[in-house]
Amino acid sequence: MKSTRFEVKQYQLTMGADLPSIESGNDVKVCAIIGCYGDEYKLMINFVAENEEQPKSIYDGEKKTGVIFLPISRLAGYIDLLRNEKPLFVHLNEKVEWITLGTGHEPIGEGER
């Protein structure tokens, strides 16, 4: 099973009404997209309306790109993670259910002071 891990160096948030999800090859419309970019790889997080169907996630090893779809209600949590945590890593995997964004190892009790 092919997988890769990369550190997120930059991100971009795009919001609008009915943005097309070009990466999915579907006609699904998304409300917001967060692009997480590393040196070579990227993860596109597509947020769809609560009543919109969520297409299956995608990992394209040749394009070094992962695409996931989440309900718009989860947008704030991802923005908080991107703005307040460092380092962040994306795990891309052919088993697309395992595509994740998360922190590196942190000491216990590091929290805000």
pLDDT tens across 3-37, in order? 999 999 999 999 987 766 655 555 677 899 999 99
pTM of the full structure: 0.87
Stretch among 25-39, 40-54, 66-80, 89-103 having the lowest mean pLDDT:
25-39
CB 68 within 8 A of CB 59: no
